Each structure stands twice: as C-alpha cells, then as structure tokens.
Amino acid sequence: MGLVASMCTEPMRRRRVEKDLDGKVAEALRERARSRQRAFRSVNSITMRLPRFKDGLRDVRDVFDGYDEDSDGTIDAEELRRCLGELQVRLSSEQEADDLHRYCDLDRRSGIQFQEFVVLLCLMYLLFGPDVTRRVSEFESAKLNYVFDELIDAFIFFDTDGDGKMRRRDVTQRMNESHQERTPTNITAQLFKEMDLDRNGKVNLKEFLYSMIRWAGLETEDEGTDEASP
C-alpha cells in the first residue's frame, strides 16, 4: 500500500510544486519587465545571440562536475542541497530544496543533468539575484549574468501577456512581426512543439531555457546528441 500511495501522490506533488514555483517565477518576470527596458525587438535578434549563449555557458560544465560528486552525470537531491548551501540560497526547509530539484528535473530521469543545471542556475539568478552567479564563479560571474539576462529577456519578449507563459499565438505573433511574408504555420507549430515539453499548450520559463540551451548547441557538444537548432 505504501508504494501504491507514493505512486499516486507523486503526480499531485509535482503539480503542486509546478504551480507554486511557476507563480514565483511569473511574479519575478513581471517585476523584471516593469523595471527594465525591452531588450529585444525581433526574433532574429535573439537567434543571432545563440553562439554567444553557448560561449557564455560553456564554463558552467566545470561547476556542474564539481557538484556531481559521484560523477554519474546527474545531480541528485542530496547533492543539490549541498550545492544550494554553497551558493547560500536560503530555503525554508529541505522539502523546499527537494521541490526545486523536482521542478528542474524536466526529463523526469530522477536527477538533474547538465542542461537542467543551467536552467536551475538561471532560475536562481532570477529569483535570488546576482550573488548566486558570483558564488558560482567569481571570475565568470559577469559573463553568466549577461547570458542569463539575455535568456530571461528573450522569454519576456515572447510572453506577450506577461503571465509567465508562452502560447503558440505568441510565437506566431513574434515570428511575423519583423517579416514581410508570414512564417509558415507548420514552422511556428514545430517550434512551439519543441518548447512545450509537457504538451500542455503553454511554455514556461524553464521549458524555454531548456530549449534555448539545446538550440545553442550546448547539449550536442556535451552529450553527442543529434539535436539541431531551428
């Protein structure tokens, strides 16, 4: 009965965590949008930054390897708690740290892989400020801050409603704003499908970040996959 109960409650726990952290991220995004000028004017201006994103995030690999204490290619919940402690991220309980681990485990493979770790750091930067990146790397913090700022602002560009969720119509609108000819529907549909990892018709910041990291070529370089950028 204990195993069955655990299997039944896990989806509910994940949905609760998702809703709670999505709300916190959405509020941080709204505050950021109110306090900063618009950084991007077109989809092309974002696409042109992909090589710079890749270069700026490459050094995070060594940081990930340092926290992956058993060198199994993933950061488990215990390793993440130690990581957050070293970054001095103040959470109210171990359960909150476990919830964060669950939230950033996008592929649900019971651990945070490298790409998910980059997502985690960017979310921590948004929620807790630049002290997080300074503690990650004193020498590379300025580069990380720049890349995380650009990635977050790129999401805000697509989030036309300002509610922390991208929808297919948002992608279609932004893709067509700076083109004389409309982007074919099948292209915008495929682009959105690649980002909508949980297939719920909405893309939150973590899904967007995960997709941008993939399109920048970071995943291909580190894991030898065949993923291609759009």
pLDDT bracket for residue 92 (50, 70, 90): confident
Residues 192-214: pLDDT tens digits?
Answer: 999 999 999 999 999 999 999 99
Contact indicator for 137, 59 with CB cutoff of 8 Å: yes
Q: Residue 110, class by beta-carbon neighbours within 10 Å (0-12 exposed, 13-18 middle, 19+ buried)? A: exposed
E strands present in the chain: none
Q: What is the average pLDDT across 93-101?
A: 89
Query: Coil, strand, or helix at residue 180?
Result: coil
From the list 184, 156, 149, the residue with the least C-alpha distance to 170 is 156
Residues 54-65: pLDDT tens digits?
Answer: 888 887 888 899
Residues 9-53: pLDDT tens digits?
Answer: 667 877 888 899 999 999 999 999 999 888 898 999 999 999 988
pLDDT bracket for residue 227 (50, 70, 90): very low
Tokens 């977050």 label which residue?
152
Q: Can you give the residue ranges of every domain in the chain? A: 8-223
Alpha-carbon distances, residue 22 vs 17, 29, 91, 141, 165 (angstroms)? 8, 10, 16, 25, 9
182 pLDDT above the threshold of 50: yes
